[in-house]
Structure 1
Amino acid sequence: MAKPFPVNPKNPERICWGCDKYCSPDAMACGNGSERTQHPIELFGEGWNEWGLSAPEQQDKAKKTP
């Protein structure tokens, strides 16, 4: 079972987000490359989870709710 993905972690720069192991950047166990995978909040900023692939589903749900 996969770990739940944190939406707004406290210190995202301290962890590699490339897989479910969530290793520290200096001890990546998955072999994800030489650099850590950044958390979406680092790449896109606050509200990153309110747009993108899940946005149409959220908009549809909002329209159906009275």
Structure 2
Amino acid sequence: MAKKFPIKPLHPERICWGCDKYCPVDALACGNGSERTQHPIELFGDDWMDPLLPFDADEQSDTAAA
């Protein structure tokens, strides 16, 4: 079973987010290269989940009418 992906980790820069192992930066175990995979919060900012959240019912009806 896969580990639950943290939405807002305290120190995303300390971990590789490339697989379910979540290795420390200095001990990459998956062999996926020599660089770590960044957490989406590092790439897109604190609101990285906003586009993935469902719309409210009012917003859906407004966009459907347009």
Matched, 1:11 2:5: no
Q: Can you give the 5+ residue segments of structure 2 that lack an aligned partner in the other structure?
A: 59-66
AA paired with 1:15? I
AA partner of residue 63 (structure 1): A
Bigger radius of gyration among the two? 2
What is the TM-score normalised by the length of structure 2? Answer: 0.81
Equivalent residue number for residue 27 of structure 2: 27
Q: Deviations over 1:18-38 (max 9, x none)?
A: 000000111111111110000
Q: Which runs of 5+ in 1 are unaligned?
A: none
Paired-residue identity, %:
66
Letter in 2 for 1:9: P
CA distance in structure 2 between the partners assigned to 1:26 and 1:32 by the alignment: 13
Distance 1:38 1:47 in 2: 15
- Which residue in the other structure is 1:63 paired with? 57
TM-score (norm 1): 0.81
**Structure 1 residue ranges (4+ consecutive) displaced by more than 2 angstroms after TM superposition:** none
